[in-house]
Amino acid sequence: MQDNEEILRLCKRRKKGVLRVVFGRTGVILLLVAIQIAMLFVVFRWFEKYFGWFSAAQAVFSVAMILYLFNCGMDNSAKLTWLILMMLFPVPSTVFFMFTKADIGHKALKDRVEQLISETMTALPQDESVLDERNVKDPCTDALCRYINRSGCFPIYRNTSAVYFPLGEKKYAALIEELKKAEKFIFLEYFIIDEGQMWGRVLAILAEKAKQGVEVRLMYDGMCEIALLPHDYPKRLERLGIKCRVFAPIAPFLSTHYNYRDHRKILVIDGNVAFTGGVNLADEYINRGSRFGHWKDTAIMLKGEAVTSFTLMFLQMWNINEKTPDWSRYLTPAKPVNAVGYVMPFGDIPLDNEKVGECVYMDILGRASRYVHIMTPYLILDGELEAALKYAAERGVDVKLILPGIPDKKAAYALAKTHYKSLISSGVKIYEYTPGFVHAKVFVSDDIKAVVGTINLDYRSLYHHFECAAYMYGTDCIPDIERDFNETLAKCRAVTHETIKHEKLGYKVAGAFMKIIAPLM
């Protein structure tokens, strides 16, 4: 990449931080939401003051919510958190719990997503001959594929090459070159977009491609409006010929809808090339202006048949607001590529009862015979995943985790440390990346399996976000992933019982308190 290549900006450089949020449009919206919350409590206090039977009704309501809590399908760790809150703050906690379970604000979204998934369950038929091959070589992967296809249309493919990028800068360079080759369409779906070198160069190419008649569609998560992009940014993009949508934009209405974010990173070019991984479209991901030391991130590029699954995942999100979705002209089979191994892209949505991402990770841990090596920025585990990590280590599997040495969120960092002692006692080896922050989401196992995508080891990714990843079996890039893990490991400090003993008191205290509300983070 040459620094003198065209960079396009659509808004002036703006100061970032709390003051800009407080005194901007976002601040007004947050104020209005706070007023709505305050009004609910005023109404509650009014009832409590003027109706003698209200206390009895309140007690009955609290008991009913606790009974519902213990009989719903929620994760046990989350149940414990809610129970503690209900004991400490009976009325507000039970009211808030009812509010979150009532689907206020996102029931329409849930119904629409379920409808779109139902419509496309057979859009990409599974080649049974591929499953037959997998069944001969590894029946475990065949079983995993059949499980994943219960939650959506996610076939396993051959004839797909996978290139692994050990840094955001590497992905950026390849991304630019592939964008220049686009002829028919470019689909982008990202959690974070921020104006600067990376997005500015990408945007310049997208604008030029739109002029040439290439169809360009962009989706980004509405949280970008809080600190990164102006509210009218989609209109500015549309003036360049780029179709744009914002997922769950912030609005002055109290809703549980905002709890569910689009954390995916998908870029599809002409249905033949796809990118995914941890890298967003902002400068810190390519180590320009990172506040947390060296930013270690990863991504993959797919070419071949498996790309069609990422096209479908993008269209499912895009068509949430379309009355008449158009699938067929974009879901034409991708050009096959002569490559070894198998690739299975998959998505995970927070609106059903399937924890697909967690189940894939647990399947790898449960079936590993030699090692499972993991990179993740956050470690906020539920009971099942923690048990899976410990059991793998206790039966002799080399389980290693690389986490950040410099955190981006100190609360999450403190919470991660609360798991260290238990995991290490079971034989799990934990390391912290001393040069800076690890944002990679990588599993690699036994020189044969790997997952690269957007799914962190925390409650938000596993329970509350729209996520995506690619499961790979026997592909050429798996040795590259393991090599990158070991090279990163050489730059890490080991976590031991002794280092835990001498951990900063602030992290110990914060972690102990944050543990109570970990499932809500």
- pLDDT of residue 22 exceeding 50: no
Tens of pLDDT, residue by residue over 349-371, are 988 878 999 999 999 999 999 99
Distances (CA, A) of 201 to 6, 159, 213, 238: 6, 31, 19, 17
Considering the domain architecture, whether residues 426 and 457 belong to the same structural domain is answered as yes
- pLDDT of residue 23 exceeding 50: no
Q: Which of 105, 122, 156 is the last residue of a domain?
A: 105
Band of residue 8 on the pLDDT scale cut at 50, 70, 90: very high
> Amino acid identity of 271?
G
Considering the domain architecture, whether residues 286 and 410 belong to the same structural domain is answered as no
Q: Decide: 422 and 415 in contact? Cβ < 8 Å.
A: no
Question: What pLDDT score does 45 carry?
Answer: 64
Continuous segment of H or E residues that includes residue 114: helix 107-119
Classify residue 146: in a domain, yes or no.
yes
Cα–Cα distance measured from residue 393 to residue 129, given in angstroms and rounded to the nearest whole number: 35
- pLDDT of residue 332 exceeding 70: yes
Classify residue 284: in a domain, yes or no.
yes
Q: What angle do CA 385, 388, 393 make, to 5 degrees?
A: 135
Closest among 416, 439, 436, 440 to 428, alpha carbons compared: 416
Bridge-based pairing state of the strands 465-473 and 342-348: antiparallel
Classify residue 391: in a domain, yes or no.
yes
Q: What is the mean pLDDT of residues 372-394?
A: 96
- pLDDT of residue 337 exceeding 60: yes
**Residue 338, φ and ψ in degrees, nearest 5:** -75, 105
Over 294-318, what HEC string results? EEECCEEEEEECCHHHHHHHHHHHH
Classify residue 307: in a domain, yes or no.
yes
Considering the domain architecture, whether residues 263 and 367 belong to the same structural domain is answered as no
Considering the domain architecture, whether residues 256 and 311 belong to the same structural domain is answered as yes
Q: What is the mean pLDDT of residues 123-150?
A: 78
To the nearest whole number, what is the mean pLDDT of the chain? 87
- pLDDT of residue 132 exceeding 90: no
Cα–Cα distance measured from residue 438 to residue 202, given in angstroms and rounded to the nearest whole number: 24
Q: Tell me which range, 29-43, 51-65, 72-86, 112-126, is most confidently predicted by mean pLDDT.
A: 112-126
Band of residue 96 on the pLDDT scale cut at 50, 70, 90: confident
Q: Of the ranges 106-110, 259-263, 432-436, 452-456, which one carries the lowest mean pLDDT score?
A: 106-110
- pLDDT of residue 413 exceeding 70: yes
Considering the domain architecture, whether residues 93 and 112 belong to the same structural domain is answered as no
Considering the domain architecture, whether residues 132 and 222 belong to the same structural domain is answered as yes
Considering the domain architecture, whether residues 429 and 396 belong to the same structural domain is answered as yes
Question: What pLDDT score does 47 carry?
Answer: 62
Question: What pLDDT score does 248 carry?
Answer: 82
Band of residue 36 on the pLDDT scale cut at 50, 70, 90: low
Band of residue 436 on the pLDDT scale cut at 50, 70, 90: very high
Tens of pLDDT, residue by residue over 275-326, are 999 999 999 999 998 889 999 999 999 999 999 999 999 999 999 888 888 7
Distance of CA 127 to the CA centre of its chain: 28
Band of residue 252 on the pLDDT scale cut at 50, 70, 90: low
- pLDDT of residue 513 exceeding 70: yes
Band of residue 54 on the pLDDT scale cut at 50, 70, 90: low
| SS3 state at 221 | strand
Higher pLDDT, 53 or 130: 130
Q: What is the mean pLDDT of residues 37-56?
A: 64
- pLDDT of residue 209 exceeding 60: yes
Considering the domain architecture, whether residues 174 and 223 belong to the same structural domain is answered as yes
Considering the domain architecture, whether residues 275 and 387 belong to the same structural domain is answered as no
Domain total in the chain: 3
DSSP-derived letter for residue 23 is T
Considering the domain architecture, whether residues 315 and 417 belong to the same structural domain is answered as no
Considering the domain architecture, whether residues 404 and 366 belong to the same structural domain is answered as yes
> 155: which 2 tokens?
């076939």
> 389: which 2 tokens?
């990590």
> Amino acid identity of 180?
K
Cα–Cα distance measured from residue 455 to residue 471, given in angstroms and rounded to the nearest whole number: 12
Classify residue 270: in a domain, yes or no.
yes
Q: Decide: 309 and 472 in contact? Cβ < 8 Å.
A: no
Band of residue 28 on the pLDDT scale cut at 50, 70, 90: low
Distance of CA 187 to the CA centre of its chain: 18
Q: Of the ranges 60-74, 375-389, 506-520, which one carries the lowest mean pLDDT score?
A: 60-74
CATH number at residue 170: 3.30.870.10
Q: Give me the domain span that covers residue 209.
A: 108-343
Question: What pLDDT score does 309 carry?
Answer: 96
Q: Which of 105, 134, 158 is the last residue of a domain?
A: 105
Considering the domain architecture, whether residues 82 and 174 belong to the same structural domain is answered as no
Q: Which of 105, 131, 158 is the last residue of a domain?
A: 105
Tens of pLDDT, residue by residue over 176-189, are 999 999 999 999 99
Q: Of the ranges 49-63, 102-116, 124-138, 150-164, which one carries the lowest mean pLDDT score?
A: 49-63
Question: What pLDDT score does 67 carry?
Answer: 80
> 289: which 2 tokens?
């202006």
Q: What is the mean pLDDT of residues 194-203?
A: 96
> 496: which 2 tokens?
């031991």
Q: Decide: 227 and 25 in contact? Cβ < 8 Å.
A: no
- pLDDT of residue 46 exceeding 80: no
| SS3 state at 444 | strand
Classify residue 333: in a domain, yes or no.
yes
Q: Tell me which range, 206-215, 225-234, 314-323, is most confidently predicted by mean pLDDT.
A: 206-215
Classify residue 10: in a domain, yes or no.
no
Classify residue 7: in a domain, yes or no.
no
Q: Tell me which range, 21-30, 248-257, 400-409, is most confidently predicted by mean pLDDT.
A: 400-409
Higher pLDDT, 54 or 499: 499
